[in-house]
Structure 1
């Protein structure tokens, strides 16, 4: 009984295999390819050769990927989306796609409609829906849209109208057209919740190709007995079936995989994780073994949303970052990088481009490649100035993630972590592990399944205990739907935020439950 963890990054695809005691028995790094299937296949082939096990013995396979994030940023492979807002006339003054980049709207087709409907903050009907009106719009969209996003006013309090419209969409457009409901995806804030729902709908084709490519790569290598999981952006897993419905939850899973993997390797539950890749360095915070979530609205590809995301910052520093000597004699590092071409272009690997990795080799921090070639071609003074700049960049980034003035513990992971010096201002302890370069794949493979619900309850109508029990039940149902074992469910987070200016006791309740894989 073995687990396979794969993380597809912009530069490398990492793969690891764990035994039934969650010990790493094999790990590899392979170059990411344009075709996700071939990249996964290459990494999988190598890691199986190292593990010396039969592919049929793998019973669980986990994938962390940036495919959905890249599709939004690059505006590629996105579905044509029909955006249906249930909120006329209350929301007519701010139409869907307000403040969106024009190229993104064009990529999604620009199909929008605002129909009668909506609820008050306490769940009372604001306006009734008109089924005939909705059917006419859906009839016009038939054959034009590939996915539908439905958003209702205060559907986070009452989702009845969204459910009715969703069923109509399935009836009119067919079961093959995915339907995304905002009450299942976003939080408070109509526009941000609608934006997240549109993005979820737009990723229908991307997630289908990703899951199908993952499945095919596994089958081609003989991994036919494994259940497939994808990584969520809160550091937990979801079944491939669940991921097909909520692809937006994979965004941000790369950094969270590294954070979870770092916690596992360092056996630490509270620290700042510094994940140094080939192009960027991502920093996140471990709180009780899980990534700290951002409390701010998240912008993805220029679009503001409000679904849950890890509190992560990225800086343009990595092992492949290009080092430049400026006219005034100063030295800058990044943000441009040679990326996956580092094995061809970096000086230590026979190229002519001075990179951060060459600096580390020149200063004796690493012996990768050809140190003698670096010693001949890289000036020591330039290397020292470059390292001072690298040190400053990391120190500034760590400082931004701290919540107090005390020195922090950090965990260094990622293939580019060799460029970070051991002593940093504001850091009390820096932990490294020999498997840190594949921490993201480890994080993908050791994660649990989660279910999270965020909903408004009116305590004057339903008492607090009943409300919290209802939220926990819904979160548990989501966890089981995502693939969790019902017997292992554990409540890990409860948050109550009173809604300002409401005298009826309206409170936003957020509950998170985790469990082991079923």
Structure 2
């Protein structure tokens, strides 16, 4: 029997799970997230090994999902010094690079901004030649001042020639110690949002390096030798090398892991997932076993971006959400006691009325001392609990695309608070091990590859062109570590762009498959 180990580092808890080669959960653990992250992971792995009693040499893979890159952007801490280069003058100079970024973020990563002649049209044709001499001057100026460089060129997802050449020129002068982020590899069509995503990616390279190395050290301290992978926000995995190149793809992988874990634990590939934590409830949609992606540009730390993100609706409702009662009326949240629930909630001897207290008073949950909430009037408890259920039901309706009832899967530490009857749900499932669905989601993830470009699709050759693009996506997944024999296309979109001449079509294809040498 061989094993996989999954870890998901959240803001409150570090969750872990070990699965065997039959994909059965052997053991699970929740451990408070520590400030240095690494010691919390070390303790989680130690507890998993101790409680499972397995031979650690039989662990083949370890997977990590983490919020560290997201937190670095939001808190503006530990970010790289970035050189920002846009290739697109004179056509693309009307709006300056990263103009829409918040001022406090610009002060940290936006001190060196340049615009260079070059770029391509939507169909890949040249706008103007790349100004290589200007790039050489920029490289000389950036030497010793930055440790990461973001390069964005007009329509580079269609033709990345100028971005690649610019990297070569600058690297020849600066050296290989500086990290490069190319927009053609990060975002999709739309210059400004793609540029923002690329700059953010460049800004969190060092954070990703510390996180990946910290995970490996945590495993080494527990004498675990295995292949290591990191979770992306589309529900799939990437290698350490890939993570260090594209750390932005780890953003929002926590909710994604919960969705994937919920799908796996419930054996439902099409459902709405409700992940209830201590502070918030995250609601997402699983289709064919993978999270539905957001169709809108996404704001991250006050920055508008267009790289892929799961379609998640976050509701300010969780087990620690504070309930205020006044003159027979009440207000639920959005404030929460969070990780201090066991200190401040009424049932634990505290002075704060929380959603957990209401669930205990309602008889939905056995936790703490129920006598401490007996003073609450039954009619008031009923009203508050009904409103909690309405908030959940309204959020679920927001995520549905039709009036049809769909399965609803409850996961997360707060899932026990919720009634097993939800309006609009064909069935409500609270699977075993749902409290660590995020860690399980990280452990069962596949490897993926994605292609998104604008093509001139000749109607006479449409089938041939699409088949070729799908093959590119499969090769991309295999290159990232997927088993070629089991890799397949999991999503395909083609959208004709009527506002562009010719037969311009935006095509987006994703392939996914299990790890090579799957157990």
TM-score over 0.5 (shorter chain): yes
Provide, for residues 347-367 of structure 1, a one-character-per-residue CA deviation record: whole Å limited to 9, x for no partner: 223322221112111211111
Deviation for aligned residue 1:37: 0.4
Find the aligned partners of 2:357 and 2:162 in 1 and give their Cα distance: 60
Tell me the SS of whatever aligns to 2:413.
coil
Find the aligned partners of 2:198 and 2:309 in 1 and give their Cα distance: 15
CA root-mean-square deviation: 1.6
Provide, for residues 286-305 of structure 1, a one-character-per-residue CA deviation record: whole Å limited to 9, x for no partner: 11111111111111111111
Find the aligned partners of 2:280 and 2:433 in 1 and give their Cα distance: 19
Q: Are 1:269 and 1:289, in contact at CA under 8 Å, matched by a contact in 2?
A: yes
Deviation for aligned residue 1:469: 3.7
Q: Are 2:288 and 2:490, in contact at CA under 8 Å, matched by a contact in 1?
A: no
* 1:239 corresponds to: 239
Tell me the SS of whatever aligns to 1:212.
helix
Q: Are 1:361 and 1:371, in contact at CA under 8 Å, matched by a contact in 2?
A: yes
Q: Are 1:284 and 1:401, in contact at CA under 8 Å, matched by a contact in 2?
A: yes
Bigger shift: 328-337 or 45-54?
A: 328-337
Tell me the SS of whatever aligns to 1:35.
coil
Find the aligned partners of 2:336 and 2:493 in 1 and give their Cα distance: 41
* 1:459 corresponds to: 457
Matches within 5 A, 1:114-513: 114-224=115-225, 226-326=226-326, 328-375=327-374, 378-460=376-458, 463-513=461-511
Find the aligned partners of 2:342 and 2:140 in 1 and give their Cα distance: 54
Find the aligned partners of 1:378 and 1:220 in 2 and give their Cα distance: 50
Deviation for aligned residue 1:219: 0.7
Deviation for aligned residue 1:447: 1.1
* 1:31 corresponds to: 32
Tell me the SS of whatever aligns to 1:90.
coil
Tell me the SS of whatever aligns to 1:106.
helix
Q: Are 2:61 and 2:228, in contact at CA under 8 Å, matched by a contact in 1?
A: yes
Tell me the SS of whatever aligns to 1:201.
helix
Find the aligned partners of 1:486 and 1:188 in 2 and give their Cα distance: 29
Find the aligned partners of 2:342 and 2:460 in 1 and give their Cα distance: 62
Find the aligned partners of 1:81 and 1:100 in 2 and give their Cα distance: 14
Q: Are 2:31 and 2:43, in contact at CA under 8 Å, matched by a contact in 1?
A: yes
Provide, for residues 363-410 of structure 1, a one-character-per-residue CA deviation record: whole Å limited to 9, x for no partner: 1111122333443x6554443332122112101101100111223320
Deviation for aligned residue 1:171: 2.0
Find the aligned partners of 1:112 and 1:134 in 2 and give their Cα distance: 12
Deviation for aligned residue 1:475: 1.7
Provide, for residues 58-112 of structure 1, a one-character-per-residue CA deviation record: whole Å limited to 9, x for no partner: 1100111111111111111111111100100011111111221111111214321
Q: Are 1:242 and 1:481, in contact at CA under 8 Å, matched by a contact in 2?
A: no
CA separation of 1:339 and 1:203: change in aligned 2, threshold 3 A = same
Q: Are 1:457 and 1:467, in contact at CA under 8 Å, matched by a contact in 2?
A: no
TM superposition score normalised by structure 2: 0.96
Find the aligned partners of 2:412 and 2:318 in 1 and give their Cα distance: 9
Find the aligned partners of 2:477 and 2:207 in 1 and give their Cα distance: 23
* 2:514 corresponds to: 516
Provide, for residues 329-358 of structure 1, a one-character-per-residue CA deviation record: whole Å limited to 9, x for no partner: 321222111111222222223322221112
Find the aligned partners of 1:443 and 1:251 in 2 and give their Cα distance: 15
TM superposition score normalised by structure 1: 0.96
Tell me the SS of whatever aligns to 1:113.
strand
Count of residue correspondences: 515
Q: Are 1:331 and 1:385, in contact at CA under 8 Å, matched by a contact in 2?
A: no
Tell me the SS of whatever aligns to 1:467.
helix
CA separation of 1:471 and 1:91: change in aligned 2, threshold 3 A = same
Find the aligned partners of 2:13 and 2:376 in 1 and give their Cα distance: 26
Find the aligned partners of 1:461 and 1:186 in 2 and give their Cα distance: 27
* 1:113 corresponds to: 114
Deviation for aligned residue 1:423: 2.1
Tell me the SS of whatever aligns to 1:279.
coil
Unaligned runs of 5+ in 1: none
Q: Are 2:84 and 2:110, in contact at CA under 8 Å, matched by a contact in 1?
A: no
CA separation of 1:348 and 1:42: change in aligned 2, threshold 3 A = farther
Bigger shift: 83-92 or 337-346?
A: 337-346
Find the aligned partners of 2:383 and 2:322 in 1 and give their Cα distance: 14
Unaligned runs of 5+ in 2: none
Tell me the SS of whatever aligns to 1:170.
helix
